């Protein structure tokens, strides 16, 4: 019988964590008090809100809560605090590598502009990575609700800072709006500049949105991607091309993509050979962090410790971590199995 080890001690990479959504609830309350922001009850603690974002009202509520939380990040020290605390939480959950996703245009108005905002974020990431020991990098994400020309601007900026901590380019927000192909030029700029392409797809929309990420944006990773489970041919393609799906089980249920945790198709993806990287998405709103996603795989999908270790390896292989760091984490995963 396979031993049951502490998943918090399992070395892993975290590839799907949004910037504001990584905040500790207590930090949000302190910043809201600091700036006189009145938070709705859903953000003031207790049980995480039930968002059910598969309908328009649910998604609007999710975005409203996220925007209110983001409005509490106003000074460089707020950014520095968020980044440090995100790294500390992930370190506690076994992360050795963290790629945090951010749209700097959302913070630019309060931080002196787009370039200063990104530089403040990258500086916080460098300092935090050095002081905590967590390998930490940034994935710049465009907002698909904005004009594709804005995404091109962001892609050029992301490439410009490739050697200062930016490793990838993403596309977030409601995938039911607009077309992935509208952002193909932005992703071409990012890829040609050496960045990893990691757009969202296959969450609120079905498998066609995953295919669009592959066909139009040439994704190396897909944020979420779980709806690919509905298309056997797509599963085969993801497995063949080694495209990592950043699967966030707790988020899927909180947003109403699936009714219950056992309904999230982890086993379907696993059995098809699709690489996965479990992620927490927005712990502030969904109430669980990285290690909890591995516990979900264990408790609700019957993953053994050896299978959890392989999930951790897949997260590392799907990351932008340098080869030597990947190899070091792989050794640590074997040491976990030897416990």
Select which of 99, 119, 203, 246 is catalytic.
203
The secondary structure of 5-38 as a DSSP string is --GGGS-EEEEEEETGGG--HHHHHHHHHHHT--
Please answer whether residues 308 and 278 qualify as being in contact, where contact means their C-beta atoms are separated by less than 8 angstroms: no
The whole-angstrom separation of Cα 159 and Cα 164 is 10
User: Which residue is listed with tokens 């910043």?
Assistant: 31
Residues 6+ apart with CB under 8 A from 157: 104, 114, 115, 118, 140
User: Which residue is listed with tokens 């000074």?
Assistant: 75
DSSP, collapsed to helix, strand or coil, labels residue 2 as: coil
Residues 6+ apart with CB under 8 A from 225: 201, 202, 203, 210, 238, 243, 245, 246, 247, 269, 274
Q: Which pair of tokens denotes residue 113? A: 């502009």
Tell me the angle at which helices 76-92 and 290-301 cross, rounded to the nearest 10 degrees.
Answer: 40
The whole-angstrom separation of Cα 15 and Cα 315 is 7
Nearest to 220 by CA among 237, 243, 240: 243
Give yes or no: 203 in active site.
Answer: yes
The secondary structure of 272-337 as a DSSP string is HT--B----B-HHHHS--HHHHHHHHHHHH---HHHHHHHHHHHHHTS---HHHHHHHHHHHHHHH
Give, for 150, the enclosing helix (H) or strand (E).
Answer: helix 148-160
User: Which residue is listed with tokens 């050979």?
Assistant: 273
Task: Please list the active-site residues.
Answer: 203
């Amino acid at each position: 019988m396979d031993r049951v080890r502490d998943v918090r001690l399992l070395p892993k990479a975290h590839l799907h964590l949004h910037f504001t959504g990584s905040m500790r609830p207590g930090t949000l309350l302190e910043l809201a008090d600091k700036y006189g922001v009145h938070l709705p009850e859903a953000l003031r603690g207790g049980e995480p809100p039930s968002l059910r974002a598969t309908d328009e009202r649910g998604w609007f509520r999710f975005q409203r809560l996220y925007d209110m939380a983001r409005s509490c990040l106003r000074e460089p020290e707020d950014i520095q605090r968020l980044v440090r605390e995100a790294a500390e939480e992930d370190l506690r959950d076994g992360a050795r590598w963290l790629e945090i996703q951010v749209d700097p245009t959302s913070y630019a108005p309060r931080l002196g502009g787009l370039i200063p905002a990104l530089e403040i974020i990258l500086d916080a990431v460098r300092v935090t990575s050095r002081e905590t020991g967590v390998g930490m990098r940034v994935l710049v994400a465009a907002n698909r609700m904005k004009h594709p020309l804005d995404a091109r601007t962001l892609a050029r900026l992301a490439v410009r800072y490739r050697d200062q901590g930016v490793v990838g380019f993403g596309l977030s927000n409601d995938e039911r709006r607009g077309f992935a192909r509208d952002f193909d030029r932005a992703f071409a700029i990012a890829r040609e500049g050496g960045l990893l392409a990691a757009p969202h797809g296959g969450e609120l929309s079905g498998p066609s949105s995953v295919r669009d990420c592959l066909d139009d944006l040439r994704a190396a990773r897909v944020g979420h991607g779980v709806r690919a489970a509905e298309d056997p041919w797509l599963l085969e393609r993801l497995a063949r091309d080694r495209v990592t799906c950043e699967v966030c089980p707790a988020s899927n249920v909180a947003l109403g993509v699936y009714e219950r945790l056992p309904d999230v198709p982890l086993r379907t993806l696993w059995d098809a050979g699709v690489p996965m990287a479990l992620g927490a998405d927005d712990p502030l709103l969904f109430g669980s962090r990285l290690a909890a996603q591995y516990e979900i795989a264990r408790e609700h999908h019957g993953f053994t410790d050896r299978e959890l270790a392989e999930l951790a390896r897949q997260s590392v292989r799907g990351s932008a971590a340098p080869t030597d760091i990947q190899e070091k984490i792989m050794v640590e995963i074997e040491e976990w199995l030897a416990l």
